[in-house]
Structure 1
Amino acid sequence: MSPAVPDHVLRALGRTEGDTDSLDLLVRDQDTRRLVLLRALLDAASAAPAALCPPPLRDRLREDWALLEAAERADRAATRTVLFHPLAGPWAERLLGGLTTATAPGPGLRADLAHFSALAAAAAVRAGVPFDLRLTPRGGLVPLPTLGALRTGPGPARLSHRDGELTLTPQHGPPFTVRRHPDRTLSAADPRWLPVLTLRPLTPGGEPVVLDDVDPYGIAADDLARYGLGGAARVDDPARKQWAGSWAGVPPLLRIGGDHRLAEAAALLRCVVPLGHPVGAGPDGEGAAHCSGTRREAFGAVLSSRPATPAYFASTLVHELQHAKLAALATLVPLHHEDGTPRHFAPWRPDPRPFDGLLQGAYSHLALADYWQRFALHAHRVTHRDRAWAEHARCREQVGAALPALAGSAALTPAGRTLVNEMISVYHRLDDNPPPSGHLARAQAYVSTAKVIWQQRNGSRRQ
């Protein structure tokens, strides 16, 4: 067993739960890795050949780092809100990869290097540190992570921060001012300022959750398409009201699934990235018309099209935060030694899955089965109860079909074995409150049909 992860933490996480200490362990480790990654960027830029990172870019990066240090001295918590912003992770990993493997400074690498200035500027604004910077837009936008974006048009722009005011001077067009408020939000009458929407904290005294639709440096469009997700979506005023209205109903619905569901969302979720509905999807946001996901390098972010109801919003968070928890745990302690060959049957996917994908999917669907069972047991309306039982039965049967391959693997580490054993205990605990027979029969038929179709498509591959 890894000394980094105590046995009681593994057992709690295996039950898809996790007390405050367990969640704090995951968060602290991920935050530490982010700081190391950012420092590695500076070192990689310093060591890169001049052809890849020319001296002017290297000098600018050092100035940005000095501004980050000044912001950290002025207000550490405010600065780290920016440094730990989930969408800074994909950018930082992409930039580090470019600095260590590229042979020529392509436009993507130059843009990623320039984004360090925007990161430093956002931290300085939050910390109240004055500055004057030259910023390079991408697609006519300069994002200030966690705050919003400045629409500048083509060409570099100057941004200054003094006495709670940001003044942007674009290369083309008149300057405009954005005011910083005591709560660190920014506002401007000029439509060239695009603020992010902050969703209210999930728990009293907690941090608001950013609905970030203005950061072009985060999740790349090709990455979204590769995982069957809709493209990143800009949120207009009517859609903002819909997101905020749906979000308002999420906390009490999460609590229906147990206090641990609300606690894990409050501890782990920092950012929601709005997505468009998948291609060919219907307008209601349910079933195939809804998509969501997480990315390992964007810890704390849930990517999601707008769910149709607060209940589906809550279940989306339950589902996706399990992926975040399990991925963070796997960086602390190896869970298995299986290879990445896609060969396993997973009832929630038409294609063969690698062992790690099977484990991730079973883990998240187990949490959903537990959530929807609790929801059904507490629902007052017949229609709500009926829908919850249907969701529970489907997820439960899907997990039941996946568990034998997980439990029978000889490649599980001791930590992985502990995790899977706890998952099995939760799965059997669900039998204490079985779904109505009709829902159970339909769920069993659904999984059986999925398996037949999978076998027809994939032939003699391992199941």
Structure 2
Amino acid sequence: MTGRVAGTLSTAQLAELGRTEGDAATLAALSAGQHTRRLLLLRVLFDAIPAAPPEAAARAAEHTALLESAEHAAPEAARRVLFYPLTGTWAERCAHRLTTGAGAAAVRDLAHLGGLAAAAAIRAGLDFRIRTTVTAGRVALPTLGALNTASPDGGPVELSAHAGRLTVRLPDEAPVSLRPDPAGRWRSGDPRWIGLHTLDGGPRPVLLDDLDPGRPVPRQAGQAPPAHALRPAERAHWSGLWREALPLLRLGGAARAAELTLLNCIVPLLRPAEEQQGHISSTSPGAFGAVLASAPPNAAQLAAGLTHELQHAKLAAVGTLNPLHHEGPRARHWAPWRPDPRPFDGLLHGAYAHLALAGFWQRLALGLRDPGARETAWAAHSRCQLQVGAVLPALRAARRLTDDGRVFVRAMAERHEQLGSPAPPEGHLVRARAYVETARTVWLREHARDTVT
């Protein structure tokens, strides 16, 4: 008999997560696994730096040395930057470009290492002086903010710190000094500086990051972070939605509120022009702790979107520690929430997210006072509940589930059964069943050949 690998999840934790739950220790284990993955990624990036042109490589070596000094001097402070979600997507992209000889693009990406090292070092309380360059009209400092500049791309920048004050110097421009306020937000009297906006009131401060060049771009056409910083009114709108969403997440169950500890930042997205009334959200595997989202029409949709996306983040982190299956990438499965065939992993992810949503909407349906809001919640619960029920047989019958995967999927099925009571008011299940069956019929007409329902 072989023992469980150190650092992986126990059977009890897998079952807990399969039920879309997770106590503080279990969620911390997911984060720790992702932090280990981040350190390995950064090692790969640092090892690839010699592939850059000599001048860029020499400057990056200086930045790497400062970053390592910050991590040695104050690990917890420095790792707020190292483990920041958007550091991951930047590091993946930069390492890929360096190792594939992407030339000028790799040099532009590598320049961001200077701002990252400076942000970590100032948080660690170090005095320093380094050189970096302008990228896309900004000097970005992850987790702090960004400085707008008229200097051209590739223009020189000096970043220096002394006694807790950070100074940015550019040619032919007045220097800009930054200091943290009592709340820890970095401020400057210079209007060129844009500090990151913070969403407060949850278990941890969440950054609304409209500035970091490491922001991932969703794969769907028309979805992208805005090139500009959000206007004050747009930031205020997000704050209002966030404040209203927090009590809904608490009402949606202890697990929904607890998993907000995994959320570091929300990356605002622009909605496609033809979908201005819609809401889009996604996660990126390399940016654990980030949710990408357009401004939703109301707080309930924000709460539901966060619930949905945090399940994807949790499940991806589970798979890093405990592989759940060895199914291939072929897209052949019917998923009632998508018009296209899905690979097995996509089917599992979608079912897991919709299972959490079924529970969230049920709790809202039982707890909200407004009759119209309750009806909306029951309708959403019914649809999610039946959608998950329609695909659970395919998940449970998969031949290439690991032992851990069987534990996880069995727990999903148990949770799904629990959510059958109390039943929604008469009519909601009838309409939801008709919706799911119609979706199946349409899908079979388009994709029945060589697929699985």
Residue of structure 2 aligned with 1:320, choices 286, 309, 325: 309
Alignment partners' CA distance in 1, 2:388 and 2:94 = 38
2:22 aligns with 18
Letter in 2 for 1:58: A
Q: Which residue of 1 aligns with 2:104?
A: 107
Consecutive unaligned residues in structure 2, runs of 5 or more: none
Partner of 1:190: 190
Match of 1:94 in 2: 93
1:443 aligns with 2:436: no
Q: Which among 256, 268, 277 is matched to residue 251 of structure 2?
A: 256
User: Structure 1 residue 274 and structure 2 residue 268: aligned?
Assistant: yes
Question: How big is the shift at 1:74?
Answer: 3.5
Note the 1:43-192 alignment, pairs <5 A. 43-46=47-50, 48=51, 53-100=52-99, 102-103=100-101, 105-153=102-150, 154=152, 155-192=155-192
Query: Which of 402, 405, 408 is equivalent to 2:397?
Result: 408
Per the alignment, in what secondary structure is the counterpart of residue 424 of structure 1? helix
Q: Deviations over 1:430-451 (max 9, x none)?
A: 1111112211111111111111
In structure 1, stretches of 5+ residues that fail to align are: 284-288
Q: Hey, what's the Cα distance between the residues in 2 that align with 1:10 and 1:2?
A: 13
Task: Please say if residues 59 and 131 of structure 2, whose CA atoms lie closer than 8 Å, have aligned partners that are also in contact.
Answer: no
Alpha-carbon distance change, 347 to 229 in structure 1, aligned in 2, over 3 angstroms: farther
The structure 2 residue matched to 1:336, chosen from 314, 325, 329, is 325
CA contact (8 A) 1:2 1:333 kept: no
In the TM superposition, what is the alpha-carbon distance from 1:111 to its structure 2 partner?
Answer: 1.1
CA distance in 2, matches of 1:5, 1:171: 53
Distance 2:69 2:293 in 1: 35
For 1:183 and 1:130, how far apart are their aligned partners in 2? 22
Per mean C-alpha deviation after superposition, the further-off stretch among 174-183 and 436-445 is 174-183
Hey, what's the Cα distance between the residues in 1 that align with 2:303 and 2:286? 23
How many Å apart are 1:228 and its aligned residue? 5.0
Q: 2:59, 2:132 within 8 Å by CA — same for their partners in 1?
A: no
Paired letter, 2:123: R
Question: Within 1, Cα distance between the matches of 2:98 and 2:291?
Answer: 28
**CA offsets, 1:172-231, max 9 Å, x none?**
43333333335432112222111110111413xxx31111000123214xxx2x235621
Of 347, 350, 356, the residue aligned with 2:336 is 347
TM-score norm. by structure 2 comes to 0.94
Asked if 1 retains the 8 angstrom alpha-carbon contact of 2:241 and 2:298, the reply is: yes
Q: Deviations over 1:55-104 (max 9, x none)?
A: 3322222211221133224332211100011001011111222233x23x
Which residue pairs with 2:11 in the alignment?
7
The one-letter code of the counterpart of 2:121 is A
Farther off after superposition, 373-382 or 71-80: 71-80
Matches within 5 A, 1:359-370: 359-370=348-359
**C-alpha distance in 2 between matches for 1:173 and 1:109:** 27
Q: Matched residue of 2:427: which SS?
A: helix
Number of matched pairs: 443
SS across alignment from 2:43: helix
Q: How far apart, in 1, do the equivalents of 2:392 and 2:307 lie?
A: 20
Correspondence for 1:286 = none
Q: Residue 442 of structure 1 aligns to a residue in which SS?
A: helix
